[in-house]
Amino acid sequence: MMDPLPDVRRTAGALVCLLAFLAAPVAAPVAAQSVDDLPPVTDTYALTDARVIQAPGQVLDPATVLVRDGLIEAVGTDVSVPYDAREIDADSLVVYAGFIDGLSHAGVQRPESGSDDEEDGNEAEVDPGDPPTDRSGIQPDRSVRSFLAPDEKTLEALRKIGFTTGHVVPEGRMLPGSGAIVQYGGASAGDLVLEPKPSLFAQIQPADGYVYPATDMAVIATMRQLFREAARRQNLQEAYRENPDGRRRPPRDPVHSALFPVLDGSLPMAFYADDALSIHRVLTLQRELGFPLLLAGLAESHAALESLETADAPLFLTLDLPEEPARSAESDTIAADTTDRPSRFYDPDLRTASYRDVSAEAENLELRHAAERKKYLRTAALLEEADLPFGFTTREADAGDIRSHLRTMIEEGLSAEAALAALTTRPASLLGLDRRLGTVEDGKIANLVVTDGSYFDEDTSVRYVFVDGRLYDYASESEEGEVTGEASAVVGTWSYTLETSQGDFSGTIEIEGDASGLSGTFVGPQGDEQDLQSVSWDGTTLSFSVDSPQGGSATVSVTVEGESFDGSVSGSGQSFSISGERTRSPDR
């Protein structure tokens, strides 16, 4: 189960259908052709004539960044391009340090649903009041390292918008296990890990399926129990080590032992807490038990600012923001202004009078929701104003929304400089990685983001990302396929034959649409359907990509001549021939 990377070449016979092929590992989806299919020839790169943001507010322009052996070898205005470098003309491009994700599950392979058989099978035998620790969500002895997969989709999506490193934690309930500092790119799971055990992940999250702890309060009580019993066991073990004579062997178990470094103060508890109540609860628990703390989430830190100011913990703010509901106020007058009876005792923004006029009342209440939403949009700015150093966490955010959320935060008062710091230098120092990451300086790990403008401009795209000196090329990628040829020449149903080392397979491809865009479906040999992505057609070449449900994707590029085509399918470092004929067209 933990091996999500079946080797297509070793898998036998019928299993080698096209979808199995698609499921094969794809290190860099679209860049595969340029980087992975052929040996890259060199891993030395020179980005020349670039605008280099070495750190927030620290710019070299124009300058050259030289990458070699996974490190930044040189940065400067007078760096010459060595003989072995692949030169990338970065005129009009901007180079940033790779972004660092303060807490996420990127790269963590989720077990397939249904495969977790123990839950169904043993349910009846579990005493809800005293379940085994793993059912309670108490798994501090696990490590996220055993769940990492380099082709996991979130990790790919985050890398594409510039995240190159993250503090990755396992999924689970109250104590899911220890995290790792993970590079968001690499050939193997082992490659990804930069630091093996920076934290123990925790959250106030009751157990699944109504067993103990079924409530937040029981989770908190369980944390106390675990810490205090761990302390007792640690003492017993130390005493035993010093003098085993005539003593009973102290109890030993992986769960309590996993907490020893936390008790020593050498391993922080990384808590995820989004709402104000959870933030307060975690801070209270921390004051009580005295563990080193890292806090992520913090969506409602605007409502817990005073407590956060006194907390001694690295902070990572969520990149998720509340969505505007379907029914929302049009106007942006703050609801607070609508009361006719201001209070001498409470803050004015509490007051919203309701009226007998039902629609006016509704409008008023919607305004209050809008004003509340505003607080979340402004939270990052607020943390900056309060001088609280913070990074970001992507855990609850969709990668596709992150850039627009960053823009919103900046519109609401976060300085672009602080935003960049929160993506680079802040998390580097908060996670103790600042000697290796966070800036574009020689000697640092070559984690870079190269864009064609300011990262915070809407029109800017990410062109290249370097992780550990490994290039991910997004320059040639166009999100939408382009249709310049006569659409009717390809629309319809095509039957295809795919020639692989394991034999030939056939299926159909449906294409529909017109000059404004094409779309379609790829039907595998066993009838499985996948949507076509980025369908392009220029009158000669038809190309599109297909995502595998297991992760990864394949690119299909064929030359169309009349009613037949010929071309190739490539992905995961392989390429196969494909040919086909149209069996149904618009005029038939």
Answer yes or no whether residue 244 interacts with other proteins by CB under 8 A.
no
Contact indicator for 437, 444 with CB cutoff of 8 Å: yes
Among 81, 362, 388, 489, binds other proteins (CB under 8 A): 362
Is 10 a binding residue for other proteins by CB under 8 A? The answer is: no
For residue 277, state whether it binds other proteins (rule: CB under 8 A): yes
Of 77, 80, 146, 225, the one binding other proteins (CB under 8 A) is 225
Main-chain phi, psi angles of 330, to 5 degrees: -80, -45
Instruction: Find all residues with CB under 8 Å of 112, minimum gap 6, and list them.
Output: 1
In the Cβ-directed half-sphere of 190, how many Cα atoms lie within 13 Å?
A: 0
* Minimum CB–partner distance for residue 185 and other proteins (Å): 32
CB under 8 A: which stretch of 114-122, 216-224, 432-440, 474-482 binds other proteins? 216-224
User: In the complex with other proteins, which residue's Cβ is closer, 14 or 353?
Assistant: 353
The residue among 339 and 521 lying less far from other proteins, judged by its C-beta, is: 339
Nearest to 38 by CA among 475, 570, 579: 570
Report the residue from 105, 135, 302, 405 that binds other proteins according to the rule CB under 8 A: 302
Window of 146-154, 372-380, 444-452, 572-580 that interacts with other proteins by CB under 8 A: 372-380
Binding string to other proteins for residues 411 to 450, with x set by CB under 8 A, is what? Answer: xxx-x-----------------------------------
Q: Which is nearer to other proteins, 304 or 467 (CB)?
A: 304
Complete DSSP assignment for 482-530: -B-S-GGGT-EEEEEEEEETTEEEEEEEEEEEETTEEEEEEE-TTS-EE
- What angle is formed at CA 47 by the lines to CA 42 and CA 53, rounded to 5 degrees? 135
299 vs 542, beta carbon nearer other proteins = 299
Q: Is 401 in the site for other proteins (CB under 8 A)?
A: no
Only one of the segments 19-27, 97-105, 248-256, 431-439 lies at the binding site for other proteins (rule: CB under 8 A); that segment is 248-256
Binding range to other proteins, per CB under 8 A, among 29-37, 228-236, 491-499, 529-537: 228-236
Residues 150-209, interacting with other proteins (CB under 8 A): 205-206
Choose among 424, 399, 417: nearest CA to 456.
Answer: 417
Q: Which stretch binds other proteins (CB under 8 A): 25-33, 158-166, 276-284, 443-451?
A: 276-284
519 lies in the site for other proteins, by CB under 8 A? no
Cα–Cα distance measured from residue 400 to residue 407, given in angstroms and rounded to the nearest whole number: 13
Tell me the three-class secondary structure of 292-345, residue by residue. Answer: CEEEEECCCHHHCHHHHHHCCCCEEEECCCCCCCCCCCCCCCCHHHHCCCCCCC
Q: How far is the CB of 405 from other proteins (least distance, A)?
A: 14
Crossing angle for the helix pair 399-411 and 416-423, to the nearest 10 degrees: 150
3-class secondary-structure state, position 462: strand
Least distance from C-beta 132 to other proteins, angstroms?
Answer: 14
The yes or no reply on residue 229 touching other proteins (CB under 8 A) is yes
Instruction: Print the binding letters for residues 113-132 with other proteins: x by CB under 8 A, - otherwise.
Output: ---------------xxx--
Q: What is the identity of the amino acid at 234?
A: Q
C-alpha angle 261-396-99 in degrees, rounded to nearest 5: 75
Residues in the chain: 588
Please report whether residue 2 would count as binding other proteins according to CB under 8 A: no
505-521 b/e (C-beta count within 10 Å ≥ 16 → b): bebbbbbbbeeeebebe
Q: Which is nearer to other proteins, 382 or 475 (CB)?
A: 382
Query: 333 or 585: whose CB is closer to other proteins?
Result: 333
Q: Which residue, among 297, 314, 437, 311, has the nearest Cα to 379 in the 3D structure?
A: 297
CA torsion sign for 256, 257, 258, 263 is positive
Nearer to other proteins, 343 or 478 (CB): 343
Q: 463: closest CA among 45, 102, 171?
A: 45
Secondary structure E strands in 31-123: 45-55, 58-68, 71-76, 86-89, 94-97, 99-104
Residue 102 binds other proteins, judged by CB under 8 A: no
Asked if 405 is part of the footprint of other proteins (rule: CB under 8 A), the reply reads: no
User: 3-class SS at 181?
Assistant: strand
Which of 12, 41, 120, 210 forms a contact with other proteins (CB under 8 A)? 210
Applying CB under 8 A, the span of 71-79, 370-378, 393-401, 523-531 interacting with other proteins comes to: 370-378
The residue count for binding other proteins (CB under 8 A) is 89
Closer CB to other proteins, residue 84 or residue 130? 130
Dihedrals phi, psi of 134, to nearest 5 degrees: -70, -30
Q: How far is the CB of 222 from other proteins (least distance, A)?
A: 8
Between residues 307 and 541, which has the closer beta carbon with respect to other proteins? Answer: 307
Stretch that binds other proteins, among 182-190, 302-310, 459-467, 491-499 (CB under 8 A): 302-310
- Residue 91 as a binder of other proteins (CB under 8 A): the answer is no
Alpha helices in 153-295 (DSSP H): 153-160, 189-192, 216-242, 254-257, 260-263, 276-289
333 vs 519 by CB, closer to other proteins: 333
Whether omega before 213 lies within 30 degrees of 0, making that bond cis, reads yes
Report the site for other proteins in 319-358 (rule: CB under 8 A). 322-328, 332, 334, 339, 341-354, 356, 358
